[in-house]
Each structure stands twice: as C-alpha cells, then as structure tokens.
C-alpha cells in the first residue's frame, strides 16, 4: 500500500468541486463529489436521537446500495428544522439530480453547522450549476475546504493498493473539530474507491474501519446530530471482485482502515484550540470493550486534558479517570506510562520520574499507556488537550 | 424545618476544629469532628476502581455502624500510595483514638488533594493534640475551611426540625470544586445529627439523600478516588426513635435531603472558574433513569457549558446533547426552555425568541428545562459553565 496524491478524486472517474453559495459570507460552503457512473454506496450515521434532515434523507437513499453524487453544505446543519428541513434536504438532492440527469435517490446529502436555523435551499439550488461546471480532479481540495467549519485545515488522503494484480485506489476527505471531550461537533467523512467489490463487503469494511477510527475519537452516543460517513465504490479498477472474508477483502479493509484512521487522527490533532495530540492505549484488559471504555474515560477527562495542556504529568488524574470507567481492575497490577516512561508500576507512583516526564510533555505528541495485566485485549483512542483557546472558540461561536 | 446557625456542631454535643499541620504551607489542612459520645455512623464512598487508602480504612471501620470521630486532611489524597498509604491512614486513626481514649475503629478517615504522593502521617500525628485542644462548637468554621482544596468558600449549613415534639438538628460541611464536566475532583461531605434513629433508617436516608444531591452533580462512575460522605448520629435529641418507613422517617429524610441538596448546589456554584450556576431539569421521561441520563449528558457537555459561559443560547448544542444520551425520544414532541422561555416547541426552534433568552443568560443563574412528553418521570442536575479560568486553574494546579 502506498500513499498517493489527492483525495476523493484519486480513484478513477471521480470528480469534485467546492464553491461559496452564500450560506457563509465569503468562504466555500458547498461541496459536490460525483462518480461518472453509478456507484455502490454505503454509509454510517450518527446514533443521536435527534437526527438532522440530511441524515434522514440519505439513510433512505442508501437503502438501494447505490449512489452517484454527494452534496454537502457547511454553515447550517439543517437540524431541528422539522418538516421544512426534510423538504429542504430533498430539494437539494433534486437540484443536483436534475442537473446531472440522475435520480434524486442517487444523491446523498450532508450538512454541518448551526443547528435550529432553517436552511436556505434556494441558495444551494442557485449554486448547483456553477458547482457542476467546476467539477474536476483538482476540485477535491476545494471540496475538502468547503466542508470545514471550525477546522483549521482541510483533511484529505488517498492510497493505492494492489488487488489481484490491479491497482485499487481509495481516497477520502473529512471534517471535524471540537472533538475535545465528549462533544457534539459534527464529523463528516466522504470516501471514494474504484475497487470492484460486493455491496456486502463494502458495507462491512466501512463499519469496521469506522469503529476503529472515527469511533475511537468520539465516545459512543456522544455523536452529533449530523455525523455521517459515506463511501462510493464505482468498481472501475478492473480487479477481481472483492468478496467478504477473502484475502483480497482483508487487503481492502487494511487500506480503508489506514485512510479512516489517518483522517480520524487528523481530526483529533485539529481539535478546537488543541496544542497537543494525545494517544491513549489501554492494554492487558479482559476484553476490547473494557479497554475501550477506560481509554475513552481518560480521553474525555477535562482534568487529564487540562493537565496535558499545562504540561503537568498529573498521574493521579489519569489513574482516577481510569478507575472511573466502570471497569473493575486490580490497582496493585496497574502500570501507567507517559510518553514511554513508566511512572506507575504495580499501583505505586515512581515520583522521581516526574521531571523527565515533565520535559517530554513539552512535545506536541503525548502517548499515555495503561496496562491492567488482567487479559490480552487492548484499544487505542486519540484526543487532544483542553486549552483556554477551546473555551474562546466555543463560547464565541455563532 | 428551619435553617439555623452553624454546621456540624449545631446538633447537641458535637465539636469540631481545623488547624494547619504542615501538609499545605500556611492554610488549614487538618479537620476533626467529634461526638462527645459514640454515635451511629454511616457512609457512602466513591465507586472508582482506584480507591484511596482512607476510603479502604473507613469502609472497614463503618461496618460496626458506630464511630465517634472524623479526621480529615486536605493537600494529599493518600491515593496510589500502596501498602504505606494504608499504614499512614491507620496511623492517623490511631493517633486520634489514642488522644481521645477511644478505639481506632471508631475513627473515620478522609483525605483530599494530590494523588500518588506519600502522605506524611507524622505531620498529622504531631498536630493531633493541638487539634483536640481546639475542639469547640465555633470550630466548625475552621473545620469547613481545613477541608477545602480549590474551593473558593467553605460550604456549611444546619437545620432544625421537630420530630415527636422534640427539636432534632442536622448539620453538614462539604468541599468540592472542579465539578465542571465529568471529573474526578474529590467531593467530601460530613454530616452530624442528634436525632435518635435506627441504624437501618440512618443508612437508608443517607443513601437516598446522596442520590438526589451529590450524585446529581457528579456523573455516575465519574467519582474521584476519595469521594466520601459520612453521617454521625449521636441520638441525644430525645425524640422518639426514628424507624424506617414511618412518618418521622419521612420528616428526617426531607431535612437531611435539604442539607445535602444545599451543599451539592454550593459545590456546583463553586465549580472551578464558574461564572454561572446551571440547573437542568428533564421532565416527561418514561422513567427517572432516562431523565437523569439526559440531564447529565447536557450537564457534561463542554459545548453546552461553553455556550452558557459565552451567554449564547445555542439551542442546537442542548438538543444534540439531549439526543446523545442514549435514550430514545420523539424529536417532534421535544420542548426546550431556557430560563423560562420556551425556545423549542414540538421539535421546532422559535428563532425570534433568541434575543430575549440571550438577555436572560447574562444572569448568574440559568435554568435549562427539557420536556420529552413521553412519560411522567423527571430529574434535576446542577452544574456550572465552563470558562477560560477553569483551564487556567486545572492546567496550573500542583
């Protein structure tokens, strides 16, 4: 597998564009990604009880397992907008479908931004022909920029992998920020591939890759009203069709997992106001669920995150967060390492190591590692520190 | 029921004192509360998998249902301190017991402060005779101050209630701060009463009152390694003995609930860096657990808490947090009010009301009220906003 240039238009016969349609003042706020031919399609959506209108429409459109275009606006989430919101999302899909001579059910819709404000679908409809005229391979960067909200930089990647002697490509763009502690900040990710793959295999690989990537930066149930991941597979790579459970399937999953993990880490790194990227690994747990619960509890502790911002190796806050996850473990077996230095061993703190750890915390990347010594399961979670800038961004949003 | 002067020494024959023993530099850091005669005793402890040494010792001492003294230090949590920590907590109990001519098992111990640093029990032992010599009714204020960590003010209250024609008093002091979003900041509360009451009734009333007060400001499982609530009942009020389930029991529970709720709210109000006190009420839920889960999800959302700090009625963040609690509800029935103004009605936002709500958010107290219209259960949770000062306090602690 190798990393290649570009993102969603790196696979064969995908095009993209991003423009300003007037929802935001001057920044790009409308993106379109299309496959030249109808593609297999799968999606993963928020589990939030409050679902945005585009989520409801796209879930419906995905039932066929087929789509050809993804239209995304930023600046307005089209959520808590009642019946009008549903109509507006549908109008958006119809506008794209009409201009592309395809069925509205082949258009997927996503939105991100302010909740509870009616979406001006008219602005989107008026911009669709301009958007389509600008579709190109190079347009992927504009598309990646048009889906940003408080993100500081566009997030994009593409990889190539050999399957059955043919080069298969996977590309993706994502947005998400404010992932610091639980949080409702919307995460959007749009993936494309030219792999020839069964629908069942596509759906399953997407589910698994999201579980180990985007769900490792967002606590279960803490998803926003708009969280969405789509994948389009136009099957043009000429590889032997990938079937679920085969060796080729494994190769595809690994490559897709690489793409989603990369994008998930980019989101954590770009957390609002973040000054440090933090990886939390929990090892030696009885099962993966236990490991994941402890890792997420630590990742979501404001006290741990502020200690990291202050470059203070406050091991007590890490241990307290680990213990608060609702998972039983023996304190006398607990090991905790920070950036490679074992500072808790068998439940006892080695206080002399503090100055060394304190120096390591000055770096931009921190790794917290916990070993429970009570099993073989492990889990990784990514997050960032909690800074005064986070509060500034989130108290003065809007 | 009426509020009376003082706190833990308001009930008959309780004394208290607070001194500096040298764990902290100049501030009081050691408190003692005693009953002149052996008292019935009950306690509630943290559910954290990592338990501090004083928690382990006190759990053991409480099995008899009897105690006479509570010794508390701040500045060091005596947690993650292994076998030495247990010995130090026991040494502390023995020192008090020796000076008071009582059994060490009648002494309850609590600690709060830095985790993972050995406790210097020698300092505590050296200060015990000074502490005992200063015991008085007026000493309750020094005791309330000696248990503070990042608290801005001591938290104390006492009430009197008539039971069977006799005046029964209940007093309490508490400490806790940094309750902003999950969090591991230690909560300590020490309660005294002169009520004559059965042990079973005392235990049950304590459990229920903690559930609706301190557990309504702390998310389940997010308790610190040291969280502790003790109650001593010396039975000297002369009332007919209170039995579980009787009318007198109900009167006692209401008075105890008033005391714990008052102290819990004081903790939320004094949250680190807090500029606003927030009450979240969820009504119309199918059961209390659902109502409580949604209220806590909102209370723990950094995005909601920063919006409140920024005095921005970001209704989307409130709705998204409500939806993320893992409780199903119908969006089309959802009502949300902020400080008395209904801003979401049947799932639709009334955007025109924003300016009025924005003005109300300038006040120091905010009430967020959710009605799911799907049942009769409700729950209240108290929290505070999340400010830049919180980060400053918690990044530069130690």
Question: Roughly what angle, to the nearest 10 degrees, separates helices B302-309 and B315-323?
Answer: 160
CB contact under 8 A, A320 and B348: no
ipTM above 0.85, yes or no: no
Backbone angles phi and psi of B124, in degrees to 5:
-65, -45
- Whether the predicted pLDDT of A87 surpasses 50: yes
The CATH number linked to A355 is: 3.10.20.340
Q: Given CB atoms, is A290 within the 8 Å cutoff of chain B?
A: no
Specify the 3-state DSSP secondary structure of A317: helix
How sure is the predictor about A185, in pLDDT bands with cuts at 50, 70 and 90?
Answer: low
Shared-domain flag, residues B244 and B326: no
Nearest CA in chain A to B221: A324
Half-sphere exposure of B380 (CA within 13 A, CB side): 11
Distance CA B196, CA B175 (A): 27
pLDDT of residue A387: 82
Residue appearing with tokens 């860096």 = B273
Q: Pick from A217, A249, A269: which residue ends a domain?
A: A269
Q: How many residues are present in chain B?
A: 398
Residues forming beta bridges with residue A338, ordered by sequence position: A341, A368
Report the residue of chain B nearest A393, measured CA to CA.
B306
Q: Looking at the complex, does the CB of residue B312 fall below 8 Å from at least one CB of chain A?
A: yes
Res. B396 pLDDT band, cuts 50 70 90: low
Same domain, B352 and B296: yes
Residue B363 and residue A276 in contact, taking contact as beta carbons nearer than 8 Å: no
Whether residue A315 is found in the same domain as residue A257: no
3-state DSSP helix/strand/coil % of chain A, to nearest 5: 35, 30, 35
Shared domain for A211 and A327, answered yes or no, is: no
Residues 169-208 of B with CB under 8 A from A: 178, 180-185
Residues B7 and B127 in one domain: yes
Integer angstrom CA distances of residue A118 from B308, B350, B351: 23, 11, 9
Tell me how many residue pairs between chain A and chain B have CB atoms under 8 A apart.
Answer: 230
pLDDT digits (tens, 9 = 90+) for B164-185: 999 999 999 999 865 433 334 5
Statement to judge: residues B122 and B187 lie in one domain:
yes
Note whether B347 contacts A82, CB cutoff 8 Å: yes
Query: Does B390 contact A327 at a Cβ distance shorter than 8 Å?
Result: no
**Statement: residue A177 has pLDDT above 80:** no
| pLDDT top residue among B238 and A221 | B238
Q: What is the residue-averaged pLDDT of chain A?
A: 91
Hey, of B320, B331, B347, which one would you mutate to test binding to chain A, going by the most A CBs within 10 A of its CB? B320
Half-sphere exposure of A23 (CA within 13 A, CB side): 32
Percent of chain A at pLDDT > 90 equals: 71
**Global pTM?**
0.83
Domain end point (choices B235, B269, B303): B269
- Are A282 and A219 in a shared domain? no
Domain boundary among the residues B224, B248, B269 is at B269
Whole-angstrom Cα distance, residue A373 to residue A329? 9
> Strand pairing of A277-285 and A365-371?
parallel
Q: Among partner residues B82, B307, B315, which is closest to A394 by beta-carbon distance? A: B307
Q: Which residues pair with A107 in a beta bridge?
A: A69
Number of independent structural domains in chain A? 2
Question: CB–CB of A255/A231 below 8 Å?
Answer: no
Q: Are residues B45 and B68 in the same domain?
A: yes
For residue A101, give its domain range: 2-269
Same domain, B301 and B200: no
Beta bridge partners of A15: A34
DSSP state of B246: S
**Inter-residue contact B52 to B22 (CB < 8 Å):** no
- The predicted model gives A224-251 an average pLDDT of 96
Mean pLDDT of A50-59: 95
Positions of E strands within chain B: 2-4, 14-19, 30-45, 66-76, 107-114, 155-163, 166-175, 188-193, 228-233, 277-285, 335-338, 341-345, 348-349, 365-371, 377-384
Instruction: Say which of A186, A192, A225, A383 is annotated catalytic.
Output: A186
Element holding A182 (H helix, E strand): none
- Same domain for B109 and B256, yes or no, is yes
A259 in the same domain as A218: yes
CB contact under 8 A, A50 and B328: no
CATH code of A20's domain:
3.60.70.12
A190 Cα to chain B: minimum distance (Å): 22
Q: Choose among B25, B184, B6: nearest CA to A305.
A: B184
Q: Using a CB-CB distance cutoff of 8 angstroms, which residues of chain B are in contact with residue A181? A: 181-182, 302
In chain B, the percentage of residues whose pLDDT exceeds 70 is 95
Band of pLDDT at residue B217, cut at 50, 70 and 90: confident
With residue A231 as reference, give the H or E element that holds it.
Answer: strand A228-233
Indicate if A285 and A262 belong to the same structural domain.
no
């Amino acid at each position: 597998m190798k990393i290649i240039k570009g993102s969603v238009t790196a696979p064969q016969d995908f095009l993209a564009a991003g423009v300003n349609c007037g929802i935001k003042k001057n920044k790009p706020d409308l993106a379109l990604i299309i496959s030249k031919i109808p593609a297999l399609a799968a999606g993963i959506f928020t589990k939030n009880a409050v679902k945005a209108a585009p989520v409801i429409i796209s879930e419906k459109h995905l039932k066929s397992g087929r789509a050809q275009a993804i239209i995304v606006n930023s600046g307005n989430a089209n959520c808590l907008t009642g019946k009008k919101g549903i109509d507006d999302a549908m109008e958006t899909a119809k506008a794209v479908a009409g201009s592309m001579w395809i069925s509205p059910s082949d258009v997927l819709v996503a939105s991100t931004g302010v909740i509870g404000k009616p979406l001006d679908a008219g602005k989107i409809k008026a911009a669709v022909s301009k958007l389509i005229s600008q579709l190109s391979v190079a347009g992927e960067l504009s598309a990646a920029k048009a889906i940003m909200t408080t993100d500081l930089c566009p997030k994009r990647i593409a990889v190539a992998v050999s399957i059955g002697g043919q080069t298969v490509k996977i590309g993706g763009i994502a947005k998400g920020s404010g992932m610091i502690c639980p949080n409702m900040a919307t995460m959007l990710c749009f993936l494309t591939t030219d792999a020839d793959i069964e629908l069942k295999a596509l759906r399953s690989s997407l589910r698994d890759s999201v579980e180990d990537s985007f769900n490792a930066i967002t606590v279960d149930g803490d998803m926003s009203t708009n969280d969405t991941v789509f994948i389009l597979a136009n099957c043009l790579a000429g590889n032997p069709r990938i079937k679920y459970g085969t060796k080729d399937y494994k190769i595809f999953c690994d490559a897709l997992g690489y793409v989603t993990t990369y994008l998930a880490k980019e989101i954590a790194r770009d957390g609002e106001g973040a000054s440090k990227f933090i990886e939390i690994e929990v090892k030696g747990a009885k099962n993966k669920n236990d490991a994941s619960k402890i890792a997420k509890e630590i990742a979501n502790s404001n006290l741990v995150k502020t200690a990291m911002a202050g470059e203070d190796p406050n091991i007590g806050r890490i241990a307290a967060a680990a213990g608060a996850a609702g998972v039983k473990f023996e304190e006398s077996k607990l090991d905790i390492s920070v950036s490679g230095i074992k500072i808790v061993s068998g439940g006892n703190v080695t206080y002399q190591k503090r100055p060394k750890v304190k120096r390591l915390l000055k770096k931009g990347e921190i790794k917290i590692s916990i070993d429970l010594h009570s099993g073989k399961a492990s889990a990784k979670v990514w997050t960032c520190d909690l800074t005064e800038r986070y509060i500034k961004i989130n108290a003065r949003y809007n």
